[in-house]
Amino acid sequence: MSLDAKKVARIARLARIGLSDAEVETYRREMDGIIGWVDQLNEVDVTDVPPMIGSELASARLRKDEVTDGNRQEAVLSNAPEREGPFYTVPKVVE
């Protein structure tokens, strides 16, 4: 399948893209190349290839909902440039 300039101009109009005649020809050649690659992929024999797992075939791998990093207050606050007790100290923004 190949595209002619009329089809490319119609696609551009549907996409609300303004193209000059030179641009239509450029895009026609590029789109013909893409369609050529797709045609090559259609020639590949995939009769014995099992389908890949898609989102509708796979089930979600769930884990237990449990806290794994609790009680690490000192480790987290050790990154603070300034702190007061168990809190970060930040400059006052609103006066």
To which residue do tokens 């193209």 refer? Answer: 19
**pLDDT 10s digits, 76-94:** 888 888 889 888 888 888 8
Q: Is residue 70 part of a domain?
A: no
Q: Which residue has the higher pLDDT, 67 or 6?
A: 6
To which residue do tokens 């806290």 refer? Answer: 67
Is the separation of the CB atoms in 77 and 86 below 8 Å?
A: yes
pLDDT at 61: 77
pLDDT at 63: 82
For the domain that residue 17 is a member of, what is the CATH number? 1.10.20
**pLDDT 10s digits, 19-78:** 999 999 999 999 999 999 999 998 999 888 887 766 666 677 788 888 777 788 888 888
- pTM for the model stands at 0.47
Q: Is residue 79 part of a domain?
A: no
Q: Is residue 30 part of a domain?
A: yes
Q: Is residue 9 part of a domain?
A: yes
pLDDT at 15: 94
Q: Is residue 57 part of a domain?
A: no
To which residue do tokens 């551009």 refer? Answer: 12
Q: Is residue 10 part of a domain?
A: yes
**Residue 3: CA atoms inside 13 Å, Cβ hemisphere, count?**
21
Domain of residue 26, residue span? 5-42
Domain total of the chain: 1
pLDDT at 18 over 90: yes
Is the separation of the CB atoms in 3 and 31 below 8 Å?
A: yes
Q: Is residue 66 part of a domain?
A: no
pLDDT at 34: 93
Name the token pair of 41: 């992929």
